[in-house]
Amino acid sequence: MHSKRLVSTALTLLFALSLVMAACGDNTATTAPATTAASAATTAAGAATTAAGAATTAAASTTAAAGAATTAAASGGKKVSGEISVYLNAYYDPTADKETADLMTSIAKEYETAHPGTKINLVAAVPAGTDLEAWLAARMAANQSPDIMWQQFGTRNQRASTWWVPLNQYLNAPNPYIAAGTPGHDKWSDSLPDYVLSQTKAADGNWYQVSLDWVETGLYYNKDLFAKAGVDPTSWKSWGEFVTDMQKVKSATNVNPLGMFIAQQGWSNWWWVDDMLLTANWADKANDFYLDKYKTADATRQLNPEEVAKAIIDGKLNATDARMDNYLKMSKDYYSLLPSDANSIPNLDELDPLFYTGKVASVWTGTWKNKPYEKNIPFNYGVAYLPPFTKADAPGATGSAYRVGGPSSAGQYGIAQSAVKAGKLDLALDFLQFISAPQNFGRLAQTFGGYIPMVKGSQTGQVMQGFTKISQLPERLFNDPDNRLSVESGNQWSQAMQAFFLGQTDVAATKTKLQEIWMNGAKQLCTTQKYDWCK
């Protein structure tokens, strides 16, 4: 990558392979960052190849996308009528991306034309910085949620059937909008990769959404500033080298080396590094944490909430362990690279102006920034990533870096229980099947250009450069704090770590607090899920 122009040349390779991360798990309204990656993905390289292959295989069947969509609409589905509201996150954001929004409007019109007596009301994505969880909770309480709604799968799975309709019986049935002979026609779930289904399954055994796309993340960096410091971010061999070089960037340029933000409540991209640092320090214990009933062919995968809870209650995962001293040291070293006001930056999008104007030398974000970065960055930039974690960095490390990406992007859709109460389930389900068909969702993903479609039979389209190697990294062991045990324990974890970063608590007090958060969260999960091993 020698220039901004080259950044778009490798785009195609990038996302085709980038179907391997959580991230971003973000419930703050922004362009659906990813925080989680496929826990059951084959190795990252294999998963990426599988996804790219699935998309490529389908390309032949989606040449005339618009025509195919109309044909599918006319030939599939049951007789339905009525009116529903649909919230599709970045795939319907007229303010930020009129092109994709216009396409989605056309797809909805195609459906209405094929189904007289139906009305699809598309709900625009809420403004960046909106607390989407609070926004949605208020509407759920009033039975006024959009009938089809986006939410990060980890959070959705915790809300479960209180908010969402279990989709298992429908996923096991045909999707009439998928052409005969294409995976998903006879059984809807066959249209999605197994590793996506495995990761997005709730603790109670249900699927509350379909996850139709995939995201990757990486370090976008200002080549000029890094060159001034004599630092090549593509050559890092260890965490220690990364920290030292980023400090060089700060000294040589008087610019904060890394743009990130930290929130006391809800998601922030700091969660990504928190996932990584916990993983690095506990990686050698992964097999002690995994439960046999969740075993897959993958050497590494994310722990699900039950596994985290059991490891805590069994005493295998303990925040008072000496490993956590190193975790806290690494976390504070990383915090020193961030802007001094990282705790007051409101959301991910607010990092963009800092990066564009050279006030931060790099920013950790995701492939959904493809279009705006290519359009707005006035300097040469590249994409790098965090280096492997060595034994010198963390005694529990296994010599690997870990990706932060996965089925946690804009295409995560479920049906609200309020739709059932209003007699809208049949229409909501039928339209969800319609937009999930490759000839429809594939068009959206191609036009948006920030995610790879997971629906078998979809064309991949142009994607972001620089992520090929990232997508080949193994899965991280720990998901984002809100997906480890609960949303509440995730917020408590963020607050405890902020207090540590700001010098309000020392190492010993922080470890005690983190253990309390873990144990309380694990016990609460036992209470709600009633696992057979719970004491």
Reported as a single tens digit per residue, the pLDDT across 479-530 is 999 989 999 999 999 999 999 999 999 999 999 999 999 999 999 999 999 9
- 183: pLDDT strictly greater than 90: yes
- 104: pLDDT strictly greater than 50: yes
HEC per residue, 458-526: CCCCCCCCCCHHHHCCCECCCCCHHHHCCHHHHHHHHHHHHHHHCCCCCHHHHHHHHHHHHHHHHHHHH
Confirm whether 309 is domain-assigned.
no
What is the DSSP-derived secondary structure letter of residue 84? E
Confirm whether 156 is domain-assigned.
yes
The sign of the torsion formed by the CA atoms of 114, 115, 118, 120 equals negative
Query: Which residues, listed in sequence order, are joined to residue 121 by a DSSP beta bridge?
Result: 85
pLDDT tens digit string along 133-181?
A: 999 999 999 999 999 999 999 899 989 999 999 999 999 999 999 999 9
- 230: pLDDT strictly greater than 50: yes
Other residues' Cβ atoms within 10 Å of the Cβ of residue 19: 34
Name residue 256's amino acid.
N
Q: How sure is the predictor about 449, in pLDDT bands with cuts at 50, 70 and 90? A: confident
Q: How sure is the predictor about 109, in pLDDT bands with cuts at 50, 70 and 90? A: very high
Cα angle 462-411-445, degrees, rounded to a multiple of 5: 20
Structure tokens at 387: 């280096």
The CATH number assigned to the domain holding 84 equals: 3.40.190.10
Structure tokens at 9: 């040349």
| HSE-up (13 A, CA, CB side) for residue 278 | 25
The C-alpha atoms of residue 111 and residue 114 are separated, in whole angstroms, by 5
The C-alpha atoms of residue 227 and residue 501 are separated, in whole angstroms, by 30
pLDDT at 425: 98
Confirm whether 177 is domain-assigned.
yes
Name residue 301's amino acid.
R
Query: Which residues, listed in sequence order, are joined to residue 413 by a DSSP beta bridge?
Result: 150, 210
pLDDT at 65: 40
Confirm whether 441 is domain-assigned.
yes
Contact (CB, 8 A) for 460 and 55: yes
Which is more confident, 65 or 491? 491
pLDDT at 297: 64
Structure tokens at 56: 């490529």
Contacts 24+ apart (CB under 8 A), 157-161: 157/200, 157/201, 157/202, 157/203, 157/208, 158/486, 158/487, 159/208, 160/202, 160/204, 160/206, 160/208, 161/204, 161/206, 161/208, 161/417
pLDDT at 473: 84
pLDDT at 466: 60
- 394: pLDDT strictly greater than 80: yes
| 217: region left, alpha or beta (phi > 0 left; psi from -120 to 50 alpha) | beta
pLDDT at 463: 56
- 19: pLDDT strictly greater than 60: no
In a 3-state reduction of DSSP, which class is residue 535?
coil
Confirm whether 119 is domain-assigned.
yes
Maximum distance among all alpha carbons in the chain?
A: 67
Confirm whether 103 is domain-assigned.
yes
- 63: pLDDT strictly greater than 70: no
- Could you list the residue range(s) of the whole structural domain that residue 425 is in? 26-215+407-463
pLDDT tens digit string along 190-216?
A: 999 888 898 899 878 999 999 999 888
The C-alpha atoms of residue 383 and residue 271 are separated, in whole angstroms, by 20
- 291: pLDDT strictly greater than 50: yes
Confirm whether 117 is domain-assigned.
yes
Q: What is the mean pLDDT of the chain?
A: 85
Entry pTM: 0.72
pLDDT at 214: 87
Q: Which helix (H) or strand (E) holds 453?
A: strand 452-453
The residue with tokens 């946690």 is 408
Which is more confident, 282 or 404? 282
Q: Which helix (H) or strand (E) holds 311?
A: helix 305-313
- 38: pLDDT strictly greater than 80: no
- 39: pLDDT strictly greater than 70: no
| 366: region left, alpha or beta (phi > 0 left; psi from -120 to 50 alpha) | beta
- 37: pLDDT strictly greater than 50: no
Mean pLDDT computed over 250-262: 95
The residue with tokens 């897959």 is 296
Confirm whether 389 is domain-assigned.
no
Domain count of the fold of the chain: 1
Contact (CB, 8 A) for 243 and 257: no
In a 3-state reduction of DSSP, which class is residue 331?
helix
* Percent of the chain clearing pLDDT 70 (strictly above): 84
Which is more confident, 463 or 438? 438
Contact (CB, 8 A) for 483 and 159: no
